[in-house]
Each structure stands twice: as C-alpha cells, then as structure tokens.
Chain A
C-alpha cells in the first residue's frame, strides 16, 4: 500500500513538471505574439498588448500557486498556517496600485517641468513665479 502511494506521488511530481513546462512555453509564446514576433503587425493594436499581458500575469500567478501548493506542500498544512503566510501577501495589492499611480504622477510632473523649462524667460523674470498669471497653454 505504502509502495503504491509512493509510485503515485512520483507520478504526480512529473505531471507537475509537465504542467509548469507547458505553461512557461505558453507564456513565452503569448509574450512573443504580443510583441508581433509571430504575426507581424498585431503589436500596433494596444488591446492585443493588454490582453497578452493579462494572460501572462494570470498564468504566472497560477504557476506561483502551483509551486506553493504542490511543491512546497502548502496543501497539507493546517488552514491557520496557510492564512498566516498567504494573507499578508494581499497587502501587496495596495502597494502595487499605489506605486504604479505614483509612477504615473512622476511622469506627469516631469513633463510639466520640461514644458516650464522651455517657456520663454522674459515672461517669468519681471513678474516672478508667484505673480505670473498662468494661462492654460503655459501649463500644457
């Protein structure tokens, strides 16, 4: 009986290898497709890039879950351990949203600084920054 279980467990491991290998190949395929390496020209559609990115992220998360649950044997741990290890990871959801918004803000600000640097100097010097009345064109 114990011997049979062992054989079964070994088989499971090699099935796992197959699953991870196939997912990795699909990921690389989708990534190259999204960049227009397989069919030329698809990369000019923004939605193709977004769908490819979402697919790749989804597959990576599945790979991560598979490694944690099957290879690291999280499946056999008690629910308390699973929660205490995996729930804190949810904090990252907000970190990702917050820092990506922040990155976007940096980009916006950098553009604004670039525009202001290119503004003609005589407009600024006599009046000073605070007194000058900004028009919409100045700021864009």
Chain B
C-alpha cells in the first residue's frame, strides 16, 4: 500500500533528519505533507460538485425548498425542518473532537488513550452513516425521489387545489386547500400511480387557469444522491481506515516506530477533512 511505502521511506530518512536532501521540506514529514496535498485535491473535487449544484440551481426557474424536503425525523415525525441533519452535523463534529483527543494521546504515547478515543470516533462515524442510510431510505422508499425523478416541486403562483391529496374530487362541503407562490409540494404516489393534483391559479398573469402539479427540476435528485453519496463514501472509507489504525495502535505497532503515532495524526487529518466537507455540504444542500 502506498502509505506503507511512504512510511518506510520516512523512517529510513529520518535518521538523516530529512526526506533525502538534508532538510525536510516545510519541516513536515513526507506522509503528512502528502496527506495535505491529497486533501487539497479532494477539496477541488468536492468544490467542483458543489459549484455544479450552484450553477444548476441558479439555472432552474424553481428549486425545492430544503426546509420542506428535509423535514422528517425517525419515528414517523414530520414537520421538523432541518432538525435531523443538525443531529447528523453534531455527530460529525463530536467525532472530530474525539479524533483530536486521540491525536493528543498519541503525542503523549498513551496507547490506551489512543485506542479509547479512536473507538469513540469510529462510533461517531458509524452513527453518521446510519443517519444517512435512514435519510436515503426515507427519500427513496417513502418519498420516491430517485436520480432521475424529483417529486419535490415549487409553486410559482398562488392558487387553490381542486383535488384532495389522493387526487380525488373534494367531498361536498370540504374546505379546499390553498397555497402561495414559493411553497414547495411533494407529489405522492397513490396505489402505485403519481398523483399530480389539479389546481386553479389565483394570482399573476395566468389567473384562473387550471394546471397540474409538475415534477421539480430533475437535477435535484441526481445532485443530492451523488454529492451526499460521495461524502458518505468518504466517511465510510474513513471509518475503515480508522478501524485499521486503531487495531494497529492497540497491537502496539506504533510503539516500535520512530515516528510514533504519526499514522493516527494522518488519519486524523483525513477525518477532520470529512467534517470540513460536511460543513459545506450542509451549507449548500440544507441551509441555503
């Protein structure tokens, strides 16, 4: 594995107090510096995705409102905008903090401390993945969003519905549901068929015309699943590496090494980066 070669190289050279040429570039070890540059390149990948999201969002006449799309909470609760993703953010922040503690204990060569704090970090990462799995299940299984279908639309005019939520005519005397421009809606499936409710526009130039709910911009589903999926995959690989390095630390491999617990520092850098990316995914998908 590439990291191992890097590490061997590092140990060989440290006796000469440099990588090869007498002086360590940037006074950093080879492995740590390369981790920084890997993270820089990864940051560009994520930025490319997020900028694509921004460009497509700007190019669409309407866009699903995030606090409408993300308002469900486990246990069948709905109408709690953004609360679940806030919980997810906290999980990542807390696991970042436990990672800092693991690195600190590593610097003190405290083997038990490293293992303890790394286990907590792994639990935090797994918790985050579990939350994401629930979020995806809810979106795919219950709300029927997919990479090519986006049932979340947004009204551009105010109006009044002519059908109830199941697509049937209102019962006599029932109050008709109204909506305002800018409100989002979710097209439900009823008995396996999409129900695109009919409504009458009550504002703007189209006043009086009858229309049906339209599907939202297709790109929303694709962008959501690709970007949060790509981030989730980073979390997943992070957890795998955390487990490997935690086991190594527990077995005492790092006690023997000249650079001590530097592997813990390097996976720590990666883990904080995953948290850092989430700050921006959280920003563009959920907050704005």
Name A residues whose Cβ lies closer than 8 Å to a Cβ of B: 6, 9-10, 13-14, 16-17, 20-21, 24-25, 27-28, 31-32, 35, 37, 43, 53, 56-57, 60, 63-64, 67-68, 71-72, 77-78, 80-81, 84-85, 88-89, 92, 95-96, 99-100, 102-104, 106-107, 110
Q: Which listed residue (B51, B65, B101) contacts A35, Cβ 8 A?
A: B65
Specify which chain A residues have a CB less than 8 angstroms from the CB of B282 in the assembled complex.
60
| With contact pairs A13-B104, A67-B279, A78-B27 given, residues A28 and B82 touching in the complex (Cβ less than 8 Å) | yes
The 0/1 profile, CB within 8 Å of A marked 1, for residues 260-273 of chain B is: 00000000110011
- The A interface, classified by DSSP as helix, strand, loop or mixed, is helix
Number of residues on chain B facing chain A (CB within 8 A): 52
Contact call A71/B272, Cβ cutoff below 8 A: yes
Name B residues whose Cβ lies closer than 8 Å to a Cβ of A: 26-28, 33, 36-37, 39-40, 43-44, 47-48, 51-52, 54-61, 65, 67, 81-82, 86, 89-90, 93-94, 96-97, 99-101, 104, 108, 182, 268-269, 272-273, 275-276, 279-280, 282-283, 286-288
Specify which chain B residues have a CB less than 8 angstroms from the CB of A106 in the assembled complex.
55, 59
Q: How far is the CA of A96 from the CA of B283 in the complex (A)?
A: 15
| With contact pairs A32-B82, A104-B59, A107-B60 given, residues A95 and B67 touching in the complex (Cβ less than 8 Å) | no
What are 19 A-B interface contacts by the 8 Å CB criterion?
A14-B97, A20-B96, A21-B90, A24-B89, A27-B287, A28-B86, A31-B286, A56-B288, A60-B279, A67-B279, A68-B272, A71-B96, A71-B99, A71-B275, A77-B26, A78-B26, A85-B36, A88-B44, A103-B55
